[in-house]
Chain A
């Protein structure tokens, strides 16, 4: 089954801790993306990557970091510098510039 997986589905973190969200895809897509959704809002782009070992900041990159060491994987680290990390995080991938396909999401809650 081809698709995008995100783990874990729910994640709890204490204030001041870094946490890494996993995103894996077996669609052979070149581009991968991370979005954040807050209640009553649309999705906002955090980071995106067009190819392995390359990534660019999106609209709200502060307090986040990413890596792209393999085509299939694009993990997102939420650092302690992120002021309001509680949100629903969505990973997506695409072939080139067209339709993005999303994973099931990870809900992060800071305690």
Chain B
């Protein structure tokens, strides 16, 4: 039972355009969402997060949107740059004591072309 889904395994975008990566979740107990960027054979790097009490969070070129009623979030990258080419993972958090158990999607490989 996959609780966090990234239905697009790959996405190709031209440099300077907007990249939109999507993520759906099924567990209504999730209350904190994160996006990570990952290069092969490296650990994920945190990009941006959003609490379930918000519907938008922005950090430079990165914006995350959350639609709780649709159980959907998206990551917008504007403008896209070649260095953004990587695999992007969506993760959702449910509180467990004082730690958080992250559930990850399967990732979307973004390729930014010149």
Q: Which residues of A contact B (CB under 8 A)?
A: 4, 6, 30-31, 33, 35, 40-45, 48-51, 56, 58, 88, 90, 92, 94, 96-105, 107
B99 touches A44 (CB 8 A): no
- The distance from the CB of B71 to the nearest CB of chain A, in whole angstroms, is 17
Number of interface residues of B (CB under 8 A): 28
Complex: A97 Cα to B102 Cα, angstroms: 10
B101 is contacted by which of A42, A48, A104 (Cβ under 8 Å)?
Answer: A48
Q: A50-B98, A50-B99 are in contact. Are A42 and B43 (CB under 8 A)?
A: no
- The distance from the CB of A3 to the nearest CB of chain B, in whole angstroms, is 10
16 intermolecular pairs with C-beta atoms under 8 Å apart: A6-B43, A35-B104, A42-B104, A43-B89, A45-B103, A48-B96, A50-B97, A50-B98, A58-B101, A96-B100, A97-B100, A99-B49, A100-B100, A102-B36, A103-B43, A105-B43
B85 CB within 8 Å of chain A: no
B42 touches A105 (CB 8 A): yes
Complex: A94 Cα to B102 Cα, angstroms: 11
B105 touches A42 (CB 8 A): yes
Interface contacts beyond A97-B98, A98-B32, A98-B100: sample of 10 additional A-B pairs, CB < 8 Å, sorted by A: A31-B100, A33-B99, A42-B104, A42-B105, A48-B101, A51-B98, A56-B97, A97-B96, A101-B46, A104-B42
B41 CB within 8 Å of chain A: yes
